[in-house]
Amino acid sequence: MTEDDLHAQRPRPLRVRFEIAAARMIEAWVAAGRMAVSAGEMELAREFLEHDGWTVREVPGTRVQLAHGKGSVREVSREDAVLMALRRLVRRA
């Protein structure tokens, strides 16, 4: 492999912390046998979603409101919001 080949195959740069944390989060959920999203994990997902054009608002309990552009607002669990962020992350790759 030449140096030119190495430069041509550079991975794309990470844009937000969620991209770094995603694999660690999934591994922890698999090890625990369930998905439980912490406030810190939700903050990382929020940062990612907001970078992607979403508005994320906390509501009482462990739910959040999501809105994109002028579309409708929907209320989902933290887990659903993080799964949505993960799906969007995979589409970017």
55-71 residue pLDDT tens: 999 998 889 999 998 88
pTM score: 0.79
Q: How far apart are CA 24 and CA 8, in angstroms?
A: 28
Whole-number average pLDDT of the chain:
87
Compare 14 and 52 and report the one with higher pLDDT.
52
Is the pLDDT reported for residue 9 higher than 70?
no
Q: What is the dihedral of CA 78, 16, 85, 50, to 10 degrees?
A: 80
The encoded tokens of residue 77 equal: 């669990």
Angle at 82 between CA 78 and CA 88, to 5 degrees: 145
Closest CA to 37 of 91, 72, 83, 3: 83
Q: Residue 47: its pLDDT value, please? A: 93
Is the pLDDT reported for residue 13 higher than 60?
no
